[in-house]
Structure 1
Amino acid sequence: MRTHFIQKFKENDKRIISYYIGGNLSSNQCLLFLNGLYTGHTAWIKQQRYPYFRDNYKLLFIDYHGVGDSVEKREEEFKFDDIVDDIKTILDEEVSDKLYVIGYSVGGMLALWLSYKFQDSVNGLILLNSGSKTSIYANKMIRGLLTLIEDGANLKSIFMLIYPWFHSQEYLENMDMDNFVLQKYAEYNGNSKSFRLLIKAIVNRPDLSVILDNILIPTFVLSSEHDIIFPLPYQQEIQAKIKNCKHELLLNSSHASYIENHGEVNRFIERALKDMTNR
């Protein structure tokens, strides 16, 4: 089954932001999917095809600053806050009523800040393999990534080193499309200068742990048993600090649960949405 999306652009004096809408365009309920650091809307293919999401909600996906088809006009530094503010301008145009934000990995960090800063605009928050901070492994990996980009390393070679960190051994053993996937990663992040600016903005993000107590909207958090990027204690912190929060642990899963365990993840998201809409 093919999933059709309309690509749109939002422009200001600093950048052009590319985004995609699909699903049920006549719905007054919108699901905003905020992806991880290295891929865009195509990474959510299993969620895009899931009938409950596709038939009941408008689906919205955004290329972050300087990646995918988004373009930085000046290639100057920007802040984590700027990413969230630009997301909000798109939401103001595309969301007519209810908004539920689904954030994966780094996208979950953006979702936390968005839900804190514009709480009146968000009706519910779902976090997948995310947290208010990353593990020491992830911190070292990201800083190493910055160094490699600054030294002019080939992006495909960089992703060859990074890619295995996200997946389980079983998934990697059965993956016969490494070159295809890695090439897509490199193409999506093709402008190394802009990609570096995006990474720096994420590294220099605000301390998200101090805002958790102020997030009052319904929140659902999914952890993976073998996630070394955002280990289980990081989601438990969110559950402890956000008052209206529920948490589930996915056994035998890695950081990329929404790909490897998409059936279980999709059902988790569906349960969360039904819980929030029935309140």
Structure 2
Amino acid sequence: MYKLTSFLILFITISLSVKAQKSLTVANYVLTNDSIKLYTKKAGNGPIAIFIHGGPGAWSKSFEDLGGSNLESRLTMIYYDQRGCGRSEGSKNDDYSLEKMLEDIEMIRQRYNANKVYLIAHSFGGILAVNYAQKYPDHIKGLIFVNSTLNLFYSIQHQINYMNSLLKTDYKAVDTSQIIPTFKNVQSKFVEEGFIYKLLSDNKNNADLLNKIDSENPSEFAFAQKALYIADYQKDYTKITHQIKVPVLVISGTKDHAIGEDHFKSFNFPNQTIKEINGGHLLYYEKNKKFINTVFEFVRK
């Protein structure tokens, strides 16, 4: 059984052989302004890039261990687990608001003395990244969206449609208030039929590898349990993309059934580069070399 921590299935990547310079690797905790300890880790060489994991409710270890570390040859990576996720503490007053999540990212930027940073966002992390860029544009060097959603309910509805197509069922949400209950119903059937890995990859072994790593996650999944019921995470943030002026790289999988293969077509960043990669939600793993090269080319320019 897969350890599903949220409605949006997560990513995995795989390490490739990379000849990188030796770099200082430091694991540390950043104390937020409401006294929450956020797990962070710094490693690599070059401009600072903060990785924003997905879920909602995942952690950064999967990315770091299975491919994210390949970016360290040209980027100084800051891996962090969001509050209520992974190795970070949960909010003492259950504050998992979008505003508080953005403040956490800003605290991390300040902690590592970076004037401007790249944000590398995966899956649900796209919602945090686009809102941070709108609030703190002067501190963004570039945004990198990888299999990212900017409209959570759109992506959940896409998953419902995909699962219906494989199950030959017709689960429907009559309005947005029914999307989450409908998703739970169809997902339960999808798990029962042994299809759940298909939201991640056509290759079950790839999904099993992710599950093995995520089985080590020590979190109580406080954020995952609350995120989908918080109004700010239910909004369509594709509508603000035209306001974001910084350079943007959008990497999308042609078979990404978790986010929606065509979701990126609703993005309207003025300075965006679109890169479609033949793969699903696990293109980090299945197309890791192409992914790494795409990011490096964006950074180089």
TM-score (structure 1 length as normaliser):
0.77
Give the AA of the match of 2:77: L
Per-residue deviation at 1:227?
0.8
Match of 1:247 in 2: 274
**Greater Cα shift, 86-95 or 74-83:** 74-83
Taking the TM superposition and a 5 Å limit, the aligned residue runs for 1:111-190 are 111-133=129-151, 134-135=154-155, 136-138=157-159, 143=180, 164-169=197-202, 171-173=203-205, 177=209, 180-184=212-216, 187-188=217-218, 190=219
Query: Do the aligned residues in 1 keep the contact of 2:32 with 2:104 (CA within 8 Å)?
Result: no
Taking the TM superposition and a 5 Å limit, the aligned residue runs for 1:67-82 are 67-82=85-100
Match of 2:69 in 1: 49
Per-residue deviation at 1:71?
1.3
Residues 149-177 of structure 1: CA deviation (Å, up to 9, x unaligned)? xxxxxxxxx9x9896144222x2146665
- CA distance in 2 between counterparts of 1:36 and 1:70 reads 15
Match of 2:237 in 1: 208
**Greater Cα shift, 80-89 or 160-169:** 160-169
Give the AA of the match of 1:247: I
* SS state at 1:59 partner: strand
**Greater Cα shift, 128-137 or 196-205:** 196-205
Give the AA of the match of 1:49: S
Query: Do the aligned residues in 2 keep the contact of 1:75 with 1:194 (CA within 8 Å)?
Result: no
Match of 2:122 in 1: 104
Cα distance 1:176–1:67, how it changes in 2: closer, same or farther (>3 A)? closer
Residues 57-89 of structure 1: CA deviation (Å, up to 9, x unaligned)? 321011111111211242424312211121111
Cα distance 1:242–1:179, how it changes in 2: closer, same or farther (>3 A)? closer
Query: Do the aligned residues in 2 keep the contact of 1:19 with 1:60 (CA within 8 Å)?
Result: yes
- CA distance in 1 between counterparts of 2:206 and 2:125 reads 27
Match of 2:296 in 1: 270
Match of 2:27 in 1: 6
Structure 1 residue ranges without an equivalent (≥5): 149-157
Match of 2:168 in 1: none
* SS state at 1:13 partner: coil
Per-residue deviation at 1:39?
3.2
Give the AA of the match of 1:41: S
Per-residue deviation at 1:96?
2.6
- CA distance in 2 between counterparts of 1:69 and 1:22 reads 17
Query: Do the aligned residues in 2 keep the contact of 1:23 with 1:58 (CA within 8 Å)?
Result: yes
- CA distance in 2 between counterparts of 1:172 and 1:248 reads 25
Give the AA of the match of 1:235: F
* SS state at 2:197 partner: helix
Per-residue deviation at 1:181?
3.5
Give the AA of the match of 2:253: S
- CA distance in 1 between counterparts of 2:150 and 2:116 reads 25
**Greater Cα shift, 191-200 or 115-124:** 191-200
Give the AA of the match of 1:219: V
TM-score (structure 2 length as normaliser):
0.72
Query: Do the aligned residues in 2 keep the contact of 1:146 with 1:196 (CA within 8 Å)?
Result: no
Cα distance 1:206–1:174, how it changes in 2: closer, same or farther (>3 A)? closer
- CA distance in 2 between counterparts of 1:223 and 1:167 reads 14
Structure 2 residue ranges without an equivalent (≥5): 1-16, 164-178, 186-190
Cα distance 1:249–1:147, how it changes in 2: closer, same or farther (>3 A)? closer
- CA distance in 2 between counterparts of 1:47 and 1:191 reads 25
Q: How many residues are treated as equivalent by the alignment? A: 254
Query: Do the aligned residues in 1 keep the contact of 2:62 with 2:213 (CA within 8 Å)?
Result: no
Among all aligned residue pairs of Structure 1 and Structure 2, give the percentage whose two residues are the same amino acid.
18
Residues 217-275 of structure 1: CA deviation (Å, up to 9, x unaligned)? 1111111111112223211111xx11111111112x11121122211111111111112
* SS state at 2:87 partner: coil
Cα distance 1:21–1:200, how it changes in 2: closer, same or farther (>3 A)? farther
* SS state at 1:115 partner: helix
Alignment pair present for 1:257 and 2:277: no
Backbone CA RMSD of aligned residues: 3.3
